[in-house]
Amino acid sequence: MHPASSTTSPGDIGITLLRISLGTMWVAHALLKPLVFTLAGTAQYFASVGLPGALAYPVFIAELVGGLALILGVWARQFALALLPIMAVAAVVHLPNGWVHTSPGGGWEYPVFLIVASVALWLLGDGVAAIKRSTAFVPGGDRRQGPSA
């Protein structure tokens, strides 16, 4: 891990806060599936909107693993990018329900926000205290350079 140093800028800390809060949101989104809707119920919902029901299981795993990777700073930029298709599909599914995600059936504002925040993290970098820094598929390097732990 890279501890915050005397050269850590407020921007570096801001990126870290974005990474950790975004990861927390991905984990929360994942945990809704087994803890609130059940995985079987999520599979039924997926099927009801025209997606393969079995897709609920890998989506749950991807959101959970991806969210934990963001929180810990393990290839955070790559995970942020890899999770985009999940939320893009969610945004399309919820588009007919209106903007606010608290609308009946859920709106598109929450999925689109997660998309934008994930792209922002991908563009900005890993922040400080990342366990395994992103090195591939990243624009312009990382704001916090240094060896990976």
> What pLDDT, in 10s, does the model give residues 2-23?
454 558 889 999 999 999 999 9
> What pLDDT, in 10s, does the model give residues 81-109?
999 999 999 999 999 998 887 888 888 99
- At 49, phi and psi to the nearest 5? -105, 10
For the whole model, what pTM was predicted? 0.84
The pLDDT, as a whole number, for residue 6 is: 59
> What token pair was written down for 93?
């599914």
Q: Which single residue is written with the structure tokens 């990976």?
A: 148
